[in-house]
Structure 1
Amino acid sequence: MKILLLGSGGREHALAWKIAQSAACEQLYIAPGNAGTAAHGTNVNIAVNDFEQIRSFCIDHQIDMLVPGSEEPLVLGIYDFFKSDDALRHIPVIGPSKEGAQLEGSKAFAKQFMQRHHIPTASYREFDDSSFEEGLAYLLQHPVPIVLKADGLAAGKGVVITSAYEEAAAEFEGMIKSAKFGDAGRKVVIEQFLTGIELSVFVLTDGKNYKILPTAKDYKRIGEGDTGLNTGGMGAVSPVPFATDAFMEKVENTIIRPTVEGLRKEGIIYQGFIFFGLINVEGEPFVIEYNCRMGDPETEVVIPRLQNDLPELFTAVQQERLDTMQIAEDPRAAATVMLVSKGYPEAYEKGREITGIPLPAKDQLVFHAGTRAADNKVLTNGGRVMTVTSLAGDLRIALAHSRQTAEDIQFEGKYYRRDIGYEFIS
């Protein structure tokens, strides 16, 4: 089987590493890939949103399966693009239709979907330019803290949580009137703040059946102690200690099953990953957000713990027989630490040489994110540069090993959080 994987981050490196291990994978291509993915397949200089070039490549290279790693091509409708083209429709796309991808592409769509199917989530209202004054008035009488979410995709940065009405009003105006997040913020969801601890739950669905993958918890804030600006993610751990069998039974019964059944009942085509961003509020799970793909950096701890053959699972998705598969998890804990460029998540420099990258080992992997190869060197090419993932029988040991390797890897301006997993190791 010839597989084309779309994306260039740490998530795609982890997926490439896993896919390439399968005997079913004859050839793996990654578009556009990074300096790390090149070790597992062939990087192809095609942007994830260039559907015409992707089309030509799939035809010319007789691609048998397309795996979109990131949300952009899914939200833009790459599934529908393939299924509406006679030359492409035979190629399975591991991801939802454009309508299904709206679970991530539109916060308002997701909230309305959850309301229709009685899925527990925070109460909310949505506003746009036409209802700006109404929204401002609603905001100023809303209990604090206040959560404001840009409706569309904003690279993980379109959420503001504040206890100051003045700041909330300024952010609300900035999103709608000044296009702070571009078109993504033309509509804003204001929702109730929930107090609890977050986790990420992932399922793979064939549209009828689903399988739950290993749980994870990521850390979004740039600063230690969960302080500072939101980022795309600074690290992750798996499994999540408080995600007990009893808690996960609640998650499955009140959230996962109603979501998959709701999609099917509404005739929404969805064959791929569903990411449930959840919060545990005094033992009860609520949905914060959906994503239509795997998370990053959660993928870098979930995929190393997944013992199944990934292309085999993808084939079962395409053939709607996931119910015949069993998920096998590595019993060890996994911990990943993200190394980022100085200044991230705001302005940062690229092109810094990276040294001290270790070779892969049985209990440790380095996944590249924002890197590129040039003149036999590996250079920084993004805000989030690479993750170090370690596996061990104890989470504390896994975290210590990841931190040690993060210390050994060198590039100018390197920064990483040293407190990933802090709630679980005190």
Structure 2
Amino acid sequence: MNVLILGSGGREHAFAWKVAQSKLLENLYIAPGNAGTAHCGTNVAIGVNDFEAIKNLVWEKNIDLVLVGPEDPLVNGIHDFFLSDDVLKDIPVIGPKKDGAQLEGSKDFSKQFMIKHSVPTAAYATFTKENIKESDAFLESLKPPYVLKADGLAAGKGVLILDSLEEAKAELKKMILDSKFGNAGSKVVIEEFLKGIELSVFVLTDGKSYKILPAAKDYKRIGEGDTGLNTGGMGAVSPVPFADEAFIKKVEEKVVKPTIAGLNKEGIDYRGFIFIGLMNCDGEPRVIEYNCRMGDPETEVVIPRIKSDLLDLLNGVATQTLDQKNYETVPEIATTVVMVSGGYPGDIEKGKTVSGLNDAGDSLIFHSGTKQEDENVLTNGGRVFAITSFGRSIEDAVKKSFITAEKIKYEGKYYRKDIGKDLMMY
């Protein structure tokens, strides 16, 4: 099979690394890719939202399957674009059509979906310019902290958790009336705050059957001890010690099955990954959010733990034969430590020369924001590498990642040294 992966981050490098191992693979292309994906296949300098250029590439390279990494092209309708085109319509796209991608593309849609299909979640209300006067009363009915979510995609920055009622009221007005998050915040969801421990559960579905992939926990804050600004993710651990077999069974019965059944009831033919952001509230799962793709950096711990042939599983999604496919995981714990540029998640400098990449030891180095320039690998984003290691314990795995992270050098490098520490008590 000739395969095209869309995206340029650590998630896409992990996908490319795994797909490259498949016996079914003939040629692998990554658009646009990074310095790491170039070692797994051929990078092509095409943006993920340049649908016409993607069409030409698919036709020229005789692509048999397209795996979409990020959410943007899915929400923008790349799957629908393929289905409506005579040249592309028979080429499977792994990732939902526009209607299914609304699970991530609209917080209001996803909350309505959860309530309608009895998926456990937090109480909420949605506000726009038209009903903003009613928002103060709703905020006053909640206990702090207050959760405000921009309805649309806001590059992971559209969620505010505020302790002050007055600040929540003010921020809501900034989001809706002053376009703090652009069009994404023209509609805002206010939610009840859920107390518990957060984790992510990933599901691969062909629209009929599904496989529950390994669960993971990521670390969003820039500072150790979960302090400072939110980022795209500073590290991840899989499996999650507090999400035992009994808890995952509850997730399957109370969340996964109603979600898949709900999509079918709504006539949404969903083929791809569903990322379910959960809170474990005293042993009960409650859904914080859905995403229509795999997470990053969670992919960098989830995919390496899958023993089975990933391309065979994806082909099962494409042909709706996923229930007939073999699926196994390795028992070891995987941890990933994300190395970022100085100043991240604020202003960063790109183009810093990287050294030490040939001394990874037992670790996997997934490139997140890099580019190749002649013989040099240069930094090309806020998150630069995800260093994944295996171990019999979290402590053992994360120690290997830290050793590798120390060997990699570039100006301004930073990484959290407490990834997984909170889970070592379990």
Give the TM-score range, shorter chain: over 0.9
CA distance in 2, matches of 1:14, 1:260: 26
Q: How big is the shift at 1:156? A: 1.4
In structure 2, the residue matched to 1:323 is 323
Q: Which residue of 1 aligns with 2:237?
A: 237
**Alpha-carbon separation, structure 2, partners of 1:400 and 1:320:** 41
2:173 alignment counterpart: 173
- Whole-angstrom CA distance in 2 between matches of 1:34 and 1:417: 23
Gaps of 5+ in 2: none
After TM superposition, give the deviation of residue 139 of structure 1 in Å. 2.5
* Kept in 1: contact 2:364–2:387 (CA 8 A): yes
What letter matches 1:396 in structure 2?
A: E
Would you say 1:31 and 2:31 are equivalent positions? yes
Contact map agreement 1:199 1:218 (CA 8 A) in 2: yes
Q: Aligned partners of 1:145 and 1:172: how far apart in 2?
A: 14
1:88 aligns with 2:49: no
Distance in 1 (CA, whole Å) between partners of 2:374 and 2:62 is 31
User: CA–CA distance in 2 between the matches of 1:391 and 1:131?
Assistant: 51
Aligned residue for 1:101? 101
* Alignment of 1:203 onto 2:216: no
Which residue does 2:184 correspond to in 1? 184
Contact 1:280 1:286 in 2 (8 A): yes
- Structure 2 residue 379 is matched with structure 1 residue 380: yes
Any idea what SS the aligned residue of 2:172 has?
helix
C-alpha spacing 1:262/1:141, structure 2 compared with 1 (3 Å): closer
Where do 1:10-409 residues align within 5 Å? 10-358=10-358, 363-409=362-408
Preserved CA contact (<8 Å) 1:5 1:30: yes
For 1:422 and 1:136, locate their aligned partners in 2 and report how far apart those are by CA, in whole Å.
39
Tell me if 1:416 matches 2:415: yes
CA change 1:56–1:359 in 2 (3 A) is farther
**Deviation digits for residues 78-130 of structure 1, max 9, x if unmatched?**
11100011100110000111000000000000000000000000000011122
Q: CA deviation at 1:137?
A: 4.0
Instruction: State the shift of 1:133 in Å.
Output: 2.2
2:359–2:404 Cα contact (<8 Å) kept: no
Which region of structure 1 is more displaced relative to structure 2, 7-16 or 127-136?
127-136
* Alignment: residue pair count: 425
Structure 1 residues not aligned, in runs of 5+: none
Deviations 1:123-155 (Å, cap 9, x if unpaired)? Answer: 000111222222244334432100011111112
SS at match of 1:100: helix
SS at match of 2:351: coil
Deviation at 1:300, TM superposition (A): 0.2
CA distance in 2, matches of 1:38, 1:359: 18
Q: What one-letter code is carried by the residue in structure 2 that aligns with 1:294? A: M
Task: Give deviations 1:26-73, integer Å, cap 9, x for gaps.
Answer: 111000000100000111010000111111111111111111011011
Query: CA offsets per residue over residues 293-317 of structure 1, 9 Å max, x none?
Result: 1000000000110011111001111
The residue matched to 1:420 in structure 2 has which SS?
A: coil
Q: Is the 8 A contact 1:358 1:366 kept in 2?
A: no
Alpha-carbon separation, structure 2, partners of 1:274 and 1:222: 26
Q: Secondary structure at the match of 2:93?
A: coil
Aligned-partner Cα distance in 2 for 1:367–1:407: 15
Any idea what the Cα deviations from partners look like across 1:325-376, whole Å, max 9, x if unmatched?
Answer: 2321111100000011111111111111111113566x42000001111121
Q: Give the alignment's TM-score, normalised by structure 1.
A: 0.98
Aligned partners of 1:331 and 1:102: how far apart in 2? 34
1:130 aligned counterpart, secondary structure: coil
CA distance in 2, matches of 1:139, 1:36: 46
Q: Is the 8 A contact 2:59 2:87 kept in 1?
A: yes
Counterpart of 2:424 in structure 1 is: 425
- Report the residue type matching 1:270 in the other structure: Y
The residue identity in structure 1 corresponding to 2:390 is: L
Paired with 1:331 and 1:234, the residues of 2 have a C-alpha distance of 23
Question: Secondary structure of 2:82's match?
Answer: helix
Contact residue 4 and residue 29 of structure 1 kept, 8 A: yes
Q: In structure 2, what residue type is equivalent to 1:22?
A: S
Please give the secondary structure, in 1, of the residue aligned with 2:100. Answer: coil
> Aligned equivalents of 2:165 and 2:357: distance in 1?
46
Preserved contact between residue 65 and residue 91 of structure 1 (Cα < 8 Å)? yes
Q: Report if the CA contact (8 A) 1:125-1:190 is conserved.
A: yes
Q: Partners of 2:196 and 2:336 in 1: how far apart? A: 22
Secondary structure of the 2:347 match is coil
Structure 1 counterpart of 2:21, which letter?
A: Q
Shift of 1:170: 2.8
Q: Which amino acid aligns with 1:10?
A: G
Separation in 1 of the partners of 2:360 and 2:265? 45
Give yes or no for contact 2:145–2:193 (8 Å, CA) kept in 1: yes
Q: 1:124 & 1:258 partners in 2: Cα distance? A: 19
Which residue identity is paired with 2:167? Answer: E
> TM-score, normalising length from structure 2?
0.98
Whether the 8 Å CA contact 2:363–2:404 is kept in 1: the answer is no
2:359–2:407 CA contact under 8 A, matched in 1: no
